[in-house]
Amino acid sequence: MKQYFKLLCLATLLINASCKTTRSVTATSDDGKIEVVFVQVNDVYEIAPIAGGREGGMARVASLKKQYKKTNPNTFLIMSGDFLSPSVYNSLQYQGKRIRGAQMVESMNAAGMDIAVFGNHEFDISEKELQERINESGFLWVSSNTFHKTNTANVQFTRTGAAGTLAFPETYIMSVKDDDGTSAKIGFIGITLPSNPADYVYYKDPLSTAKQAFNKIKDSVDAVVAITHQEIADDITLAKELPGLAAILGGHEHSMILNKTGNVYITKAHSNARSAYVVKLDINKNKHSFNVPLPELKYLDQSVALDTNTNVVVEKWKKVAEDNYASLGFDPKKVIMASGEPLDGRETEIRSGSTNLSGLITASMAYACPKADVVLFNSGSIRLDDILTPPVTQYDIIRTLPFGGGIREVDMKGDLLLQVLQTGLKNKNNGGFLQSQPVVYNAARNSFTISSQTIDSAKIYRVAVTDFLLSGKETNLGFLNETNPGIVKVYPAETAVTNPKSDIRSAIIMFLASRK
């Protein structure tokens, strides 16, 4: 109820989210100047700290917001998309239902999230599940170009709760006021890249929609801020097309980005709340102007305390997860790699080449499928975007491959295998880039070999793939499915938890155990 009251405060524009302040109101006269602070995070898939507890965590995000709110009540916490999925929790259950982001929404509520936009991965979950998460949220969603596709129309997403039904605004105007009486209005637009073709989502063109939304509110406010979830190139184009924006608080990339195009700063923090950007907006009502000083990147490391209230929620969900993992045969705290070189799971490396982490996964698949001539998996199944430093636990493997899934074996014609491998190369820099073993590609000859032998298009090869790859749902690989005539035999799926083929994560754990 408290969260809905905060939302009602925002939506009615009668009072800003800083309803409570630690500063006493002074009797000074209005100086016409007001500062607003945005604490921005993006692409957060973990509610608990990572890197052995040293980095990230929603409880540290909460503490950072409180730190700035102590000196400026006009401090707002912003989520620039991608928080409901992918997550290690999404395959787990709580109270008889799939969790599907419930842990993140409750943690964000506790942390005092103010405004969020959709990321493309919000639509990984079902329509019903997304609606449940929306209804549970106590923060405002702004959605300028993303709409709910129903059987009859494309309409705004809505949230139903104790405060009634509220449609997501395409543009939002926030009223703020400081201690000396200076008041201002800030406009927001929310843009999401149209990369997830969920059948219940309709996207308008991001750039043209952003321009329309900006022009709609620019004369009614003192400054306009864009909260986006799209590629940096598109954010730069947006800044060029709308030089009057105050700032672009962005997401989608997982590495920190600070860009200034014209006078518009574009900020993207590290994924999993390893950092947050603090963006200050200074408005001068007397001069009808605004200024954004150089944004500050704040690392959320051990120097930032865990907020007690938020951490209670985090610990609750950690216990839920541990109970689930145990039922699936995992021991999340068990160390499976005590020493050795750090495992590189950064997206920039995994989606363009091979690393020791991808090599570990293909070796584990080969261990699980000793009769296979080739093993293949899609780089997009690795969601770590980080480096695993030993000691590595079972939980680290689970969060590296949160989707899990079994390993399937098929007999495949050589010409189809060549088509799959060529497509994997073309998918470089996206999740459809394929990792393989023991395949070697000769760029000069544009040819593939297996164990030094050129692939014979007429030969039948036994190939081990993840069950997701065999579904035909990977980028440009729709032809890779069980009905393709190039697949002449599909071997039965293994489901026993003691079989390494039952889950790719189990294969890694068992492979590492076999090397001790």
pLDDT at 403: 84
Answer yes or no: is pLDDT of 51 > 90.
Answer: no
Which of 86-100, 209-223, 344-358 has the least mean pLDDT? 86-100
pLDDT at 126: 95
Residue whose pair of structure tokens reads 């036994």 in the numeric block = 462
- Residues forming a β-bridge with 275: 299
Of the pLDDT bands very low, low, confident and very high (cuts 50, 70, 90), residue 24 is: very low
More confident residue, 348 or 354: 354
Which of 3-12, 197-206, 478-487 has the least mean pLDDT? 3-12
Residues 182-240 pLDDT 10s:
999 999 999 999 987 799 999 999 999 999 999 999 999 999 999 999 999 999 999 99
- Residues forming a β-bridge with 308: none
ω into 391 cis (within 30 of 0) = yes
pLDDT at 193: 97
How far apart are the C-alpha atoms of 449 and 461, rounded to whole Å? 12
Q: Percentage of the chain surpassing pLDDT 90?
A: 83
Strand, helix or coil at 177? Answer: strand
Give the start-end residues of each E strand in 179-274.
183-192, 201-203, 223-229, 247-251, 257-261, 264-268
Which of 59-73, 330-344, 383-397 has the least mean pLDDT? 383-397
Which of 2-11, 145-154, 486-495 has the least mean pLDDT? 2-11
pLDDT at 27: 47
Residue 349, φ and ψ in degrees, nearest 5: -90, -45
Residues 257-289 pLDDT 10s:
999 999 999 999 999 999 999 999 999 999 999
How far apart are the C-alpha atoms of 306 and 287, rounded to whole Å? 41
| Closest to 117 measured CA to CA, from 83, 156, 90 | 83
485's tokens: 């005539």
Domains of the chain by residue range: 36-315, 331-514
Residue 456, φ and ψ in degrees, nearest 5: -95, 120
| Closest to 266 measured CA to CA, from 329, 349, 191, 323 | 191
Superfamily of domain 331-514: 5'-Nucleotidase, C-terminal domain (3.90.780.10)
DSSP string, 15-79: S-S--S-SSPPP-PPP-SEEEEEEEEE-----SS-BTTTTB--HHHHHHHHHHHHHH-S-EEEEE
The domain defined by 36-315 folds into: Purple Acid Phosphatase; chain A, domain 2 (3.60.21)
Answer yes or no: is pLDDT of 394 > 60.
Answer: yes
How many other β-carbons are positioned within 10 Å of the β-carbon of residue 25?
Answer: 10
pLDDT at 22: 40
Contacts of 315 (CB under 8 A, 6+ apart): none
Mean pLDDT across the stretch 302-322? Answer: 97
Residue 159, φ and ψ in degrees, nearest 5: -120, 135
DSSP string, 212-231: HHHHHHGGGSSEEEEEEES-
Mean pLDDT of the chain: 93
